[in-house]
Chain A
Amino acid sequence: MSWVLDNLDVIAGYTGAHLVQALPPILLAFVLSLPLAKLANSRGWLRTGVTTTSGLMYAIPSLPLFVLLPGLIGTGVRSPLNIVVALTLYGLALMVPTASDGFRSVSRDVLGSATAQGYAPGARFWQVELPLAGPVLLGGVRVVAVSTISLVTVGGVLGVPSLGMLFVDGVRRGIAAEIAAGIVATAVLALLTDALLVLLGRVLMPWHRGRKEGRS
């Protein structure tokens, strides 16, 4: 405990670096998954392909991917950019099939009535289809957020600064409290982000409150 109190500034610094690597992938995975899922839903074979690729992508352990990316995109082994790109790929692997399911769950009749009422295709997407798919999308983003925040720590073994450095440094110096602090900080960060997403969902989708959540 005294280690934690003496090193609050270190923990705060790593938490900041952690968020810088975790938030872009979560946001990017969400934003990119929408057009990709729409595209996948437009062709049957594409949808099967996307589902298969996502499954395989998810089976690839994170550390080897962190190691391969610098050779593929020309960054340094210790660059946080590798982590961001790799975690965006994982996020997409989780999010695209979820978003695809979410859009498919919107009833064709509802979309048909919206068109009959005079919605243009763009307005129909933003004002009808996206909000109705919202709860499923939220469920997907929550899973992506929690797993992304946890995976950022793996970069620590390569020397990319994040809360994972507390594990690397703790095991090297034999300070169990430092590792425990890292575990707690990462879990709290993940659970706080999750709670924030739930709150955001309540604000953006007030009609959904109190009903069962579309958790996958």
Chain B
Amino acid sequence: MNENPFVGALEWLADPMRWSGPAGIPVRAVEHLGYTALGVLVAALIAVPIGLYVGHTGRFKGLAIGAAGVARALPTLGLVTLFALLVGIGLTAPLLSFVILAIPSLLAGAYSAVESADPATVDAARAQGMTEWQILTRVEIPLGMPLLIGGVRGATVQVVATAMLAAYVGSGGLGRYIFQGLGSQDYPQMIAGSLLVIVLALVLDLALLLLQRVTAPRGTAAA
């Protein structure tokens, strides 16, 4: 390489051509965000109710922790490629892997959120005549909200990274630039794509961190 690849990457990013058209950076970024949002949303619909149930009743806790541990040992790229092969090219295959990989964080976030409520507070709510549903929705969830959002944050970080690998098996998103660069031995383009993904991931992480702080109920220490 004759010139500094980082200078090349900045030149690549500064080219106005990159910022328009169907393969432009805005379109790819929106695709990437869309995959992430969809993956986390579907996973949340499955994992959050289960997590709340486990946290509230204390049942199946060992099972939930064990499942989360096994899921952490699963290689992301393996799931993405296996589903791509079994289900075929399209959005279903990557979405399946996003959901599987997002579930452990969401599950852990939901049950630890409910569990974090002081048992004395929960008993006080029960003594006041609140139903179990009211205890869950008016006491345990509001108190544990930062932990619940923390689970969403962990899941989002995981899915943003996996959404990039999905480009490897034919999906869109910002990962495309890295794999195109790899194919054509264009290292500056790979760096540019990497910087874009890193910025996106950090922005999402900071936004959710902020949400975590904002949702902490007044009078309690932020998690």
A: residues with CB less than 8 A from B are: 55-56, 58-65, 67-68, 70-71, 77, 143, 146-147, 149-151, 153-154, 156-158, 163-164, 166-168, 170-171, 174, 176, 179-180, 182-183, 186-187, 190-191, 194
Residues of B within 8 A of A60 (CB): 198, 201-202
Q: Given A146-B72, A146-B73, A176-B86, answer yes or no on A61-B78 (Cβ-Cβ < 8 Å).
A: no
Q: Is the CB of B175 within 8 A of A63?
A: yes
Q: Is the CB of A167 within 8 A of B78?
A: yes
| Interface contact tally, CB-CB below 8 A | 130
Residues of A within 8 A of B79 (CB): 183
What does DSSP make chain B's interface, helix, strand, loop or mixed?
helix
- A77–B186 Cα distance when bound, in Å, is 11
Which residues of chain B from 115 to 171 have a CB within 8 Å of any chain A CB? 157, 160-161, 164-165, 168-169
- Check B84 for interface membership: any CB of A closer than 8 A: yes
Q: Is the CB of B85 within 8 A of A59?
A: no
Q: Is the CB of A67 within 8 A of B85?
A: no
29 example contacts (A-B, Cβ-Cβ < 8 A) are as follows A55-B205, A58-B157, A60-B198, A61-B157, A63-B165, A63-B194, A64-B178, A64-B194, A64-B198, A67-B193, A67-B194, A68-B198, A70-B187, A71-B6, A77-B182, A77-B187, A77-B190, A143-B72, A146-B69, A150-B76, A153-B76, A158-B182, A164-B75, A166-B78, A167-B78, A167-B82, A182-B78, A183-B78, A186-B75
- Check B26 for interface membership: any CB of A closer than 8 A: no
Q: Is the CB of A156 within 8 A of B194?
A: no
- Check B98 for interface membership: any CB of A closer than 8 A: no
Q: Is the CB of A156 within 8 A of B70?
A: no
- A166–B75 Cα distance when bound, in Å, is 12
- A62–B193 Cα distance when bound, in Å, is 13
Q: Given A63-B178, A71-B6, answer yes or no on A168-B81 (Cβ-Cβ < 8 Å).
A: yes
- Check B29 for interface membership: any CB of A closer than 8 A: no
Residues of B within 8 A of A143 (CB): 72
Q: Given A149-B73, A150-B75, A187-B74, answer yes or no on A67-B178 (Cβ-Cβ < 8 Å).
A: yes
Q: Is the CB of A167 within 8 A of B81?
A: yes
Residues of B within 8 A of A68 (CB): 191, 194-195, 198
Shortest distance in angstroms between A4's beta carbon and chain B's nearest beta carbon? Answer: 14
Which residues of chain B from 180 to 207 have a CB within 8 Å of any chain A CB? 182, 187, 190-191, 193-195, 197-198, 201-202, 204-205
Please give me the 7 A-B residue pairs with the lowest Cβ-Cβ distance, nearest first. Answer: A64-B194, A61-B161, A59-B205, A183-B78, A190-B73, A171-B81, A153-B75
Residues of A within 8 A of B191 (CB): 67-68, 71
Apart from A146-B73, A164-B75, list 4 A-B contacts with CB within 8 A.
A68-B194, A156-B77, A157-B179, A186-B73
Residues of A within 8 A of B178 (CB): 63-64, 67
Q: Is the CB of A157 within 8 A of B205?
A: no
Residues of B within 8 A of A182 (CB): 75, 78
Of the listed residues B75, B84, B85, B169, the one surrounded by the most CB atoms of chain A closer than 10 A to its CB is: B75
Q: Is the CB of A164 within 8 A of B77?
A: yes
Shortest distance in angstroms between B214's beta carbon and chain A's nearest beta carbon? Answer: 17
Residues of B within 8 A of A156 (CB): 77
Closest to B160 in A: A61
Shortest distance in angstroms between B53's beta carbon and chain A's nearest beta carbon? Answer: 22
- A194–B66 Cα distance when bound, in Å, is 13
- Check B209 for interface membership: any CB of A closer than 8 A: yes
Residues of A within 8 A of B5 (CB): 71
Which residues of chain B from 55 to 83 have a CB within 8 Å of any chain A CB? 69-70, 72-82
Shortest distance in angstroms between A175's beta carbon and chain B's nearest beta carbon? Answer: 8
Q: Is the CB of A147 within 8 A of B81?
A: no
Q: Is the CB of B75 within 8 A of A63?
A: no
Closest to A170 in B: B81
Closest to B156 in A: A59
Shortest distance in angstroms between A185's beta carbon and chain B's nearest beta carbon? Answer: 9
Select one of B72, B165, B202, B204 contacting A147, CB under 8 A. B72
Residues of B within 8 A of A70 (CB): 187
Shortest distance in angstroms between A17's beta carbon and chain B's nearest beta carbon? Answer: 15
Closest to A69 in B: B194
